[in-house]
Amino acid sequence: MRVAVIGAGVIGLSSALCIQEQFQGLVPELELEVHADRFTPHTTSDGAAGLWQPYLSDRGNLQETLWNKETFEYLLGHLHSPAAKEMGLFLLSGYNLFTEPVPDPSWKNIVLGFRNLTPKELELFPGYSYGWFNTALMLEGRNYLPWLTNRLTQRGVKFFHKKIESFQELFSQGVDVVINCTGMRSGELQPDPELQPGRGQIIKVLAPWVKHFIITHDVKSGIYRSPYVIPGSEFTVLGGIYQHGNWSEENSAQDHRTVWESCCRLLPALQVAKIVGEWTGLRPARPQVRLERESIRHGNLQGEVIHNYGHGGFGITIHWGCAMAAARLFGSILQEKRKVASSAQPRL
Amino acid sequence: MAAPKVAVVGAGVIGLSTALCIVETCPSSSVTVLSDQFSPNTTSDVAAGMLIPHTYPGTPIHVQKQWFKDTFTYLFAISNSAEASEAGIHLVSGWQVFKSTPKEELPFWSDVVLGFRPMSEAELQKFPQHRFGQAFTTLKCDCPPYLLWLEKRLKATGVQVYNRKVADLWELHREYDIIVNCTGIGAHQLVGDKKLFPVRGQVLQVHAPWVKNFIRDGDGLTYIYPGIDRVTLGGTREKESWSLSPDPGTTKDIFDRCCSLEASLQEAQDIKVKVGLRPSRQCVRLEREVLSQGGAKLLVVHNYGHGAGGFSVHRGTAKEAARLVGECIVALQGSSSRAKL
């Protein structure tokens, strides 16, 4: 049975690993493959800072909160494993800052040590009068994706560096199930007006004295439109851009200025930080994640697609919960195929 | 009288910060720093520079608390400014964990550091051998940057800094009016203080940039302190040991103890081993003394014996030492005007 994952970002690779771990033993004839035109370090996941943190509001999607929780707990369990450093996984504490009191987020009991900021702590951040402190996790795409790739390669998963133009293209090759993890460009395989780019631009700097994430919020403007600073293992990410509907993957000088000036105002010591890079990425934004099965007609056959895309700016945060859900959907497809196969047995 | 000439002996964190305080509070004086060791070869350079106070049995708690508060406030302002990275001052959050619940659950400094609170059950799960813990945010002074920054500020105010071994305070009698003794462990030899003893500390400085939180065992022996470029892993507390040579067995022991608190340290690279002798005493010697020899008098202000807590109280004791220098200046002016009569 051939299963093809399209997309090699965090969603594609983790879905592949999850399915491989759960089913390879049970389904010896399982042939798993990953098809993508972009691999690490050129995927959207590679550019993201890698901080586990959902949006402030779950937008009414309780299922997503559960997937976020599942991901955090899965990662926390790996923190002590020898693989943690190779995975790019480590604990990181930090601040969320607001100009007015806000309700506690859906994830307050998922992260560690969540609490409000004290008045003394707020003195660090003039202009902000309310905030949270908590310890969360970092999962750096630049390390996690190669780690996932190694695990998959070791287990015999094949990789194909090619752009897939349609689901049919894979079905006609003999693929039975497609896992659609194409993120921002899912619309090219199947139009989806709900999927829109949430363009972000970040500046990478060397600021190794910064040991906390600092995320400011302008509740009126919306998520990620206010400066943020996220220290990684090799460099620190400065950001604060979210442009809905902007497809440009080019760095903009104006956005550079916005990010640089607002972050330096937030942390004056950044003025002497050395800039080592700049990157623009398109968050695959959707009112909710699309995680569902679809049967696609292919001649007189039926092909099964499991969609797993539209994770906006919280792909890393939610990835494992979604991978498990995709694996469950795959399990039900397997179940159905087995039933069909056994009911087709001639009765003696 | 002419500008009083003050010599500060010692260029570790105590000497340099004391010199700076004297310049700030006694602008009429001319300050010179003399030392035979400078960063990166001082005891201060070995210390991680974490603002977590040591308790001095011989000093009232309210005094220690004020020293700590003065130091914390001073560094907090720098950490918040554009100079933070040059000065090597940064905030760091983390956990102090205990294998058994300590007698004192609230240390005297808990309301000076930021966000102090007991650790949650979920946080303690990361430390299966420990049953109780405290989470807080404090400051770290990285050396050499902090000492270099202090030296730069001193030179900007006109302070002269000389590499000079002082074997006897009386050597300085003709050139200087007031001597400020910030010689740390050197005071054992220099002024024959038998109450001062070394507590040897060995540390590892490693490259592990993914470690962003500090972890400290409440017993004070095992700690992980992330600095700007290196993480300091410690440590030992060997009373009366004068050896400055790294011990390989100790290195392995420190590494193993730290890895049991933070498993990812197994992947740490470029391990450098350092040794420092904490200049330990029941209480910091922070007082004036008038030495006499023949008919000559030598005004001395002592500021040494900070043991394991030098960074935590340095600014507070420097201010007090500067105040004592001010008293010496007044005394000198009094005696010089009497001499004129």
The tens digit of pLDDT for each residue in A249-293 reads: 999 999 999 999 999 999 999 999 999 999 999 999 999 999 999
Residue A219 confidence (pLDDT): 82
Q: Which residue has the tokens 């439109």?
A: A225
Res. B203: pLDDT tops 70: yes
Residue A273 DSSP code: P
The arithmetic mean of pLDDT across residues B90-106, rounded, is: 95
The pTM score is 0.95
What is the rounded distance in angstroms from the CA atom of residue B34 to the CA atom of residue B22?
15
User: Which pair of structure tokens corresponds to residue A159?
Assistant: 């990789």
The ipTM of this complex is 0.94
The reply to whether omega before B144 is within 30° of 0 (cis) is yes
User: Which pair of structure tokens corresponds to residue B286?
Assistant: 């922070």
Res. A344: pLDDT tops 90: no
Question: Mind telling me how many Å the CA of A236 is from chain B's nearest CA?
Answer: 11
Contact assessment for residue A331 and residue A179, using Cβ atoms and an 8 Å cutoff: no
Percentage of chain A modeled with pLDDT above 70: 99
Residue A221 confidence (pLDDT): 85
Q: Going edge to edge, which strands form the sheet with B30-35?
A: B160-163, B30-35, B5-9, B178-181, B296-304, B285-293
Residue A208's closest CA among B147, B141, B46, B227? Answer: B227
The arithmetic mean of pLDDT across residues A317-337, rounded, is: 96
The arithmetic mean of pLDDT across residues A93-117, rounded, is: 97
Mean pLDDT for chain A? 95
Residue A238 confidence (pLDDT): 98
B285 is in an annotated binding site: no
The arithmetic mean of pLDDT across residues B249-267, rounded, is: 97
Q: Which fold has domain A1-50+140-194+286-347?
A: Rossmann fold (3.40.50)
Res. A342: pLDDT tops 80: no
Residue A346 confidence (pLDDT): 63
* Pick from B209, B213, B263: CB nearest A208: B209
The arithmetic mean of pLDDT across residues B272-283, rounded, is: 97
Residue A338 confidence (pLDDT): 82
What is the rounded distance in angstroms from the CA atom of residue B147 to the CA atom of residue B38?
9
Contacting residues of B for A112, CB less than 8 Å apart: 120, 122-123
The tens digit of pLDDT for each residue in A210-262 reads: 999 999 999 888 888 999 999 999 999 999 999 999 999 999 999 999 999 99
- DSSP bridge partners of A204: A237, A277
Angle, helices B145-156 vs B13-25, to 10°: value is 30
Q: Do A209 and B88 touch (CB under 8 A)?
A: yes
Exposed/middle/buried for B159, CB within 10 Å: 0-12, 13-18, 19+?
Answer: buried
Percentage of chain A modeled with pLDDT above 90: 89
Q: Do B123 and A269 touch (CB under 8 A)?
A: no
Residue B252 confidence (pLDDT): 98
* Pick from A112, A138, A268: CB nearest B123: A112
- Give the Cα-Cα-Cα angle B97, B103, B107 (nearest 5 degrees): 70
The tens digit of pLDDT for each residue in B144-161 reads: 999 999 999 999 999 999
What is the rounded distance in angstroms from the CA atom of residue A302 to the CA atom of residue A296?
6
Among A108-122, A194-208, B325-339, the minimum mean pLDDT is found in B325-339
pLDDT band at residue B340, thresholds of 50, 70 and 90? low
| Domain segments of chain B as ranges | 5-335
* Rg value, chain A, Cα: 21
The arithmetic mean of pLDDT across residues B133-153, rounded, is: 97
Q: Do A211 and B86 touch (CB under 8 A)?
A: no
Count of other CB atoms within 10 angstroms of residue B212: 25
Residue B109 confidence (pLDDT): 98
Among A45-59, A64-78, A297-311, B130-144, the minimum mean pLDDT is found in A297-311
Contacting residues of B for A133, CB less than 8 Å apart: 93, 115, 137
Residue A147 confidence (pLDDT): 98
The tens digit of pLDDT for each residue in B23-77 reads: 999 999 999 999 999 999 999 999 999 999 999 999 999 999 999 999 999 999 9
Res. B16: pLDDT tops 80: yes
Residue B105 confidence (pLDDT): 86
Residue B322 confidence (pLDDT): 98
Residue among A75, A89, A93 with most chain B CBs within 10 A, to mutate: A93
Residue A302 confidence (pLDDT): 79
Quick one: CA torsion of A68, B127, B272, B136, rounded to 10 degrees?
A: 80
The arithmetic mean of pLDDT across residues B75-103, rounded, is: 96
The arithmetic mean of pLDDT across residues B188-215, rounded, is: 97
pLDDT band at residue A58, thresholds of 50, 70 and 90? confident
Side-chain half-sphere exposure of A282, counting CA atoms within 13 A: 19
Residue A71's closest CA among A137, A133, A134, A116? Answer: A137
What is the rounded distance in angstroms from the CA atom of residue B264 to the CA atom of residue A79?
8
Long-range contacts for A332-338 (Cβ within 8 Å, ≥24 apart)?
A: A332/A293, A333/A177, A333/A293, A333/A304, A333/A306, A334/A1, A334/A23, A334/A27, A337/A1, A337/A176
The arithmetic mean of pLDDT across residues B98-123, rounded, is: 95
Contact assessment for residue A276 and residue A313, using Cβ atoms and an 8 Å cutoff: no
Contact assessment for residue A300 and residue A260, using Cβ atoms and an 8 Å cutoff: no
Residue A237 confidence (pLDDT): 98
Tell me how far apart the 2 most distant CA atoms of chain A are, in Å.
Answer: 82
CATH class of the domain whose range is B5-335: alpha beta
Res. B341: pLDDT tops 70: no
pLDDT band at residue B333, thresholds of 50, 70 and 90? confident
Residue A297 confidence (pLDDT): 87
Is B282 near chain A, with CB under 8 Å?
Answer: no
Question: Mind telling me how many Å the CA of B30 is from chain A's nearest CA?
Answer: 32
Residue B325 confidence (pLDDT): 98
Count of other CB atoms within 10 angstroms of residue B341: 4
What is the rounded distance in angstroms from the CA atom of residue A71 to the CA atom of residue A88?
15
Question: Mind telling me how many Å the CA of B221 is from chain A's nearest CA?
Answer: 22
Is A83 near chain B, with CB under 8 Å?
Answer: no
| Domain segments of chain A as ranges | 1-50+140-194+286-347
Q: Which residue has the tokens 């937030």?
A: A266
Mean pLDDT for chain B? 96
Res. B1: pLDDT tops 70: no
Query: Which residue has better confidence, B314 or B338?
Result: B314
